[in-house]
Structure 1
Amino acid sequence: MKKRTFLKLSSALLATPALSPLMQFTTRDKLKNWAGNLEYSTDRLHPAQSVAQVQELVRKYPQLKVLGSRHCFNNIADSTHNLVSLEPMSEVVSLDANARTVTVDAAMRYGQLAPYLDRQGFALHNLASLPHISIAGATATATHGSGVKNGNLSTAVAGLEFVTAAGEVRSLSRQTDGDAFRAAVVHLGGLGVVTKVTLDLQPTFQMRQYVFENLPLAQMADHFDTIMSSGYSVSLFTDWQKKRLNEVWIKQRTDEKTPDTNFFGATLATKNLHPIAEISAENCTEQLGVVGPWYERMPHFRMGFTPSSGKELQSEYFVPRRQAVDAILAVERLRDAISPHLLISELRTIDADDLWMSPCYKQPSVAIHFTWKQDWPSVRKVLPMIESELAPFGVRPHWGKLFSIAPATLASRYEKMADFRQMLQQYDPQGKFRNAFLTQNIYGA
């Protein structure tokens, strides 16, 4: 299928509180991210409906940044000058069944693309816990999904089209561009304005999901690899209290062996659960072993509903999977400092990749995620404590979430950092796409 196919959000999605604030780009209110913890530094937001308009904006303004679905919790997408929205550009450009790839406009969200792919007989290898995020934003920050054999979302990228600081359209592909491609995929917004992304596909498949409650911490420590390999994608949720993991979410393909009802001392849930026990599960994807399409099981939350808890802060740290248990137990020792400010934590596995600025570069990893109450003064005090405990493991933070690791430390943990800076300089010598986040964390000034 080569024809250009336009996918519109359904009226049901447009009516939901999850998406409508993200779509309101013309407003007198200050622009904020979806969680409301970050107010962007300018209200000069310029919509672009075509690549030609993107080129025009890039040539017109000396400094600008792209604002996507606003699911980052820090200032990685912020600008004090100009913001560009590609929201009108959300089409499927082409589907190549023989090559098993799909090319999409960068603003398309996974929740829009996935049902279309499924109808054509295809699937993506992985999805994040929220389907609401944009493809370009997720891949630019190495947002990840889960699975011991699954790379993050960026590893599905087979090609990029982007507008450089000079206003020129360039393309890079895995097949032809080698290191230049591996440098550019996780670009943190510094490469240019990504206008199209080509993704690898696989044949569609069905999945089911089981949830277990109260996994003893000792069982996790003794059987971590077996537990995390019990499904296509596995998540552990914990509040770090009572020496147990609150919930285990096992997402399986239908050809995988069903987990035993006595799962390492955890109890099989008899009703759908939310990761945060006090919240209704109506927004969550179907559990209880009910079979459904891949895109309705891999995320934790359904597309047509408010994602996660809504008003929250998030941090996430990656450590080598071979050191996962020691790292998790190190964090668990901080339980009394963490828990008063926490909504829930999640533990996931992600396979290694070769993308320069991915937290999983050259190492299978475990991600230790924190969903915090929206109390930044308290969270700001806790983050350095967590980072100190995880320092012996060479911890790397999620680029789109809250962290306080010093720039020099970040540089020491990314062996390709200097080469990445050179790549950004090549495409953006005057710093048109540079902002405070890149200046501090990549350039170290």
Structure 2
Amino acid sequence: MIKKLLIANRGEIAARIIRTCKNMNIETVAVYSEADKAAPFVSMADEAYLLGPARVQDSYLNVDKIFSIAKETGADALHPGYGFLSENPTFREQCDTAGIIFIGPDSQVIQKMGSKIEARRVMKEAGVPIVPGTETAVASPDEAVQFAEHIGYPILLKASSGGGGIGMQTVYSAEELIKAFDGNQKRAQTFFGDGSMFLEKKIEAAHHVEIQLLADEHGHVVHLFDRECSIQRRNQKVIEEASSPFISDETRQAMGKAAVKAAQAIGYTNAGTIEFLVDDNEQFYFLEMNTRIQVEHPVTEEITGIDIVEAQIHIANGEKLAFEQTDIKKTGHAIEARIYAEDPVTFFPSPGTITKLELPEGIGVRHDIGVVSGSQVTPFYDPMIGKLIVSGDTRDEAISRLEKALDAYQIEGIKTNIPMLKDVIEHPLFKAGQTTTAFVELFYQSIKK
């Protein structure tokens, strides 16, 4: 049984994991960079150790130092959170070699799902609908143009090992595709060490809907319903909710069954998420699988009452899931708004010192946050500083609580995206649950220019 857990991450997710570990009487070890030495998660943990300088290569990606600290502290397990090393199959193998329990799936599954090209192939074999696109990596701009002309524009040019919108671009002509190919390929190589590119047909007016999965090591897989994640900027999510207000219960059940079937087909274990694009006719297509906990997991916790981090730890302990699919009930509605230290119009990061922070309170209001008043927001990491999660008996009630909470959210010293969040949730399309992945570009940015 896990007795001491090292958290190989930072910020709000590190604090989130520590809270569950305290409830489970599991000791925690935090690791931090010089830039994070005063961060709340550092003092929350039972033990904390310096990794190195601020740059991620010298700190949160410093594998040798992480294992050295794990050995020194006697940590028997490691939670990677999201980002950083969470979907690195080599790191997972190194944990196995070191005798450290990794909170996540095995390395082969991580590797398969980490390659979007391989993931598409596996999902197609499992009978999950996939977006029309290339079956293998595209070697050159000329080859890309030839395929694009076959399936028609617009086309999404995507990095096989990409994430966070890096190496991804929508193109509407052969000229745009040729111009975009080399630049995105180089960015993918720089960020992910893999310049493999592929093409997908752009699904117009698409909704981004995902299914949360839990799978134990005894062959049991369940889904925890769906999340709507269509409000995005720069291909990154900003507002998420559970469940999707767009799809029908029939489609929801079909997506859940497809996701469970896919997880069973690849022998998946622990928590994972299968993301889908859904068109106007509610036809859904596999987008990608995230083999880790998601940023937006709290909204699922709020509607199911299941602590996903706790479930991850139980699964990693080799325990069977404590519930069957029929035991999982969906109650009410929950919405998460990501709070970013960024300009609300340009979306450029806004580092600096938080001189004042007062968080709204009330029924149905939850905060997963990584900063306090006086915290330094540095330019070294993702500018998300926290998440505001609200829940209610109905979606309308949840939206009302979110509006009030955002109005009462006081943060000074840096710019944040709170004005943008207010504009989005007050828009008639959002109120109607009809927002697509193009919403921010078409309706928000257009009125701010």
TM-score relative to the length of structure 1: 0.28
TM-score relative to the length of structure 2: 0.27
